[in-house]
């Protein structure tokens, strides 16, 4: 009997009829019933529920029956598949954020710079995130829950809040990759949380330099590479090293150590008036070597007169004339680097700040100068160079 709404209305309560191809309907009340799928497997008759009527319409029931027939054709048992799906759903609903976080830390601890880095992850997550995010199953968490973690911290400890946001984002990303969480990442910053927290500004408004969105950095760099001038070389080098304009335009050949892949910037050119050592990425070193026509010249990047350096405005003027479709300043490229590094969630915040030559506690500065912490700094700069220099940045 091919069922219709009218035929179902005329059925007697308790009556069971076959609609078509293994699909059965049993009327259980004057306006309700239930669907089931009957089939044979291993010489035994099986029956599995499909759902109640009219919640499951006739067309929906037929579609589900068809899907079960396909499973049978493929040699699979629909009941077993259904039970496995239920168990996975049950496990997913019992999974807590802290469980995924601990697994993530365990997998990544060998790649982190120190035991202190691991402890930093654990302490911030256990103190701020777990008490709130573990109140629900991981599968049920959303942006609102993440905001409940970050909002109080944002008002008092903004740098800690941003660091924690990056860590929570990485954990959700891992859960999405392993299919333990579905949907968009509720902790991502760009085009998501940034819109919420950008409304909470300080009383004293600080005007920041216009900065390139880091997603545009590879395209900007590719366009820059198409222009072969001394200024474009200097701007590429500035971008790769996240250096300040004055640090670059007065760079001399003798400051570069190619054997150790270092750039030693003297204290008199640094804002903090302390010498600074920059690990050179392969891309940055290539630029230096291409521009190093003579060790006797006073400046690596020189104007038309080889004896003179660029002016402070040379690179900014270059952007305005040649790359004016990008809304950025030279100094804003440092912010681009800072945002990119922070968004990755894998680099120690102190290493990022040191790479930008920001003033830190003297004890911390000393730590980042030590040889055992120099390699993580080198990795950061090489990863950044690899990110901006891609074969086809538009794909």
- Across residues 383-391, what is the average pLDDT? 87
Per-residue pLDDT, 366: 53
**Rounded to an integer, what distance in angstroms lies between the CA atom of residue 3 and that of residue 87?**
33
Distance of CA 180 to the CA centre of its chain: 17
- Across residues 146-173, what is the average pLDDT? 90
Q: In what order do the strands lie in the sheet with 256-257?
A: 256-257, 262-265, 276-279
Per-residue pLDDT, 200: 46
User: Angle between the 374-388 and 217-225 helix axes, to the nearest 10 degrees?
Assistant: 70
**Rounded to an integer, what distance in angstroms lies between the CA atom of residue 237 and that of residue 214?**
17
Would you say residue 391 has pLDDT above 90?
A: no
Reported as a single tens digit per residue, the pLDDT across 291-324 is 886 557 788 888 888 888 888 889 999 999 999 8
Reported as a single tens digit per residue, the pLDDT across 324-374 is 899 899 998 999 999 999 888 888 887 888 888 876 555 555 554 555 467
Per-residue pLDDT, 204: 40
Reported as a single tens digit per residue, the pLDDT across 262-290 is 999 998 888 777 888 899 999 999 999 98
Q: Does the fold of domain 214-388 match that of domain 97-197?
A: no
Which has the minimum average pLDDT: 57-71, 86-100, 173-187, 191-205?
Answer: 191-205
Would you say residue 114 has pLDDT above 60?
A: no
| 349 CB-side CA count, 13 A | 14
Per-residue pLDDT, 369: 54
Nearest CA among 355, 363, 248 for reference residue 311 = 248
> How many angstroms separate the most distant Cα atoms in the chain?
103
**Rounded to an integer, what distance in angstroms lies between the CA atom of residue 4 and that of residue 11?**
11
Round the average pLDDT of the chain to a whole number and report it: 85
**Rounded to an integer, what distance in angstroms lies between the CA atom of residue 185 and that of residue 168?**
10
**pLDDT band at residue 202 using 50, 70 and 90 as cut-offs:** very low
| CATH number of the 214-388 domain | 1.10.443.10
**pLDDT band at residue 207 using 50, 70 and 90 as cut-offs:** very low
**pLDDT band at residue 206 using 50, 70 and 90 as cut-offs:** very low
Distance of CA 143 to the CA centre of its chain: 15
Would you say residue 58 has pLDDT above 60?
A: yes
More confident residue, 360 or 231: 231
Would you say residue 106 has pLDDT above 90?
A: no
More confident residue, 146 or 156: 146
Residue where the block lists tokens 């049920």: 140
Pairing of strands 32-41, 44-53: antiparallel
Which sequence spans correspond to the domains of the chain?
A: 5-93, 97-197, 214-388
Nearest CA among 105, 121, 171 for reference residue 141 = 171
Pick the CATH number of 5-93 from 3.40.50.450, 3.30.420.250, 3.90.550.10, 3.30.160.390: 3.30.160.390
- Which residues are within 8 A (CB) of 282 and not within 5 positions of it... i.e. 6 or more apart? 382, 385
Per-residue pLDDT, 272: 76
- Across residues 148-155, what is the average pLDDT? 88
Would you say residue 137 has pLDDT above 70?
A: yes
3-state DSSP of the chain: CCCCHHHHHHCCCCCEEEEECCEEEEEEECCEEEEEEEEEECCEEEEEEEEEECCCCHHHHHHHHHHHHHHHHCCCCHHHHHHHHHHHHHHHHHCCHHHHHHHHHHHHHHHCCCHHHHHHHHHHHHHHHHHHHCCCCHHHCCHHHHHHHHHHHHHHCHHHHHHHHHHHHHHHHHHHHCCCCCCCCCCCHHHHHHHHHCCCCCCCCCCCCCCCCHHHHHHHHHHHHCCCCHHHHHHHHHHHHCCCHHHHHCCCHHHEECCCCEEEECHHHCCCCCCEEEECCHHHHHHHHHHCCCCCCCCCCECCCCCCECCCCHHHHHHHHHCCCCCCCCCHHHHHHHHHHHHHCCCCHHHHHHHCCCCCCHHHHHHHHCHHHHHHHHHHHHHHHHHHCCCCCCC
Would you say residue 27 has pLDDT above 70?
A: yes
Per-residue pLDDT, 130: 92
Per-residue pLDDT, 191: 83
Question: CATH second-level architecture of 97-197?
Answer: Orthogonal Bundle (1.10)
Count other C-beta atoms under 10 Å from residue 368's C-beta: 18
Per-residue pLDDT, 222: 93
Per-residue pLDDT, 372: 44
Length of the chain: 395
Return the percentage of the chain with pLDDT > 70, whole number: 89
């Amino acid at each position: 009997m091919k069922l219709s709404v009218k035929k179902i209305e005329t059925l007697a309560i308790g009556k069971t009829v076959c609609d078509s191809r293994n699909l059965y309907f049993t009327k259980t009340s004057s306006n309700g019933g239930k669907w089931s799928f009957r089939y044979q497997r291993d010489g035994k008759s099986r029956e599995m529920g499909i759902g109640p009527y009219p919640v499951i319409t006739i067309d929906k029931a037929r579609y589900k029956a068809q899907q079960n027939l396909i499973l049978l054709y493929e040699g699979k048992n629909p009941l077993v598949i259904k039970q496995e799906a239920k168990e996975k759903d049950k496990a997913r609903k019992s999974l807590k954020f802290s469980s995924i976080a601990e697994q993530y830390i365990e997998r990544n601890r060998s790649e982190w710079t120190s035991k202190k880095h691991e402890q930093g992850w654990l302490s911030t997550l256990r103190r701020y995130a777990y008490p709130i995010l573990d109140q629900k199953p991981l599968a049920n968490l959303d942006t609102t829950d993440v905001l409940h973690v970050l909002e109080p911290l944002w008002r008092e400890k903004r740098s800690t809040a941003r660091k924690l946001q990056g860590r929570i984002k990485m954990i959700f990303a891992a859960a999405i990759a392993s299919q333990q969480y579905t949907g968009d990442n509720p902790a991502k910053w760009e085009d998501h949380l940034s819109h919420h927290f950008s409304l909470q500004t300080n009383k004293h408004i600080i005007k920041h330099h216009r900065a390139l969105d880091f997603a545009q950095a590879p395209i900007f760099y590719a366009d820059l590479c198409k222009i072969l001038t001394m200024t474009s070389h200097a701007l590429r080098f500035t971008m790769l090293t996240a250096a300040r304009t004055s640090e670059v335009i007065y760079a001399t050949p003798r400051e570069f150590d190619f054997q150790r892949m270092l750039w030693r910037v003297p204290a008199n050119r640094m804002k903090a008036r302390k010498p600074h050592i920059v690990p050179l990425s392969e891309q940055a070193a290539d630029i230096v070597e291409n521009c190093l026509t003579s060790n006797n010249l006073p400046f690596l990047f020189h104007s038309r007169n080889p004896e003179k350096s660029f002016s402070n405005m040379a690179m900014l003027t270059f952007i305005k004339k040649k790359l004016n479709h990008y809304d950025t300043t030279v100094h804003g490229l440092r912010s681009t680097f800072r945002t990119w590094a922070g968004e990755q969630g894998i680099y120690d915040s102190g290493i990022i700040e040191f790479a930008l030559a920001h003033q830190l506690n003297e004890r911390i500065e000393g730590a980042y100068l030590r040889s055992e912490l120099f390699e993580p700094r080198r990795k950061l700069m090489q990863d950044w160079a690899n990110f901006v220099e891609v074969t086809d940045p538009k794909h």
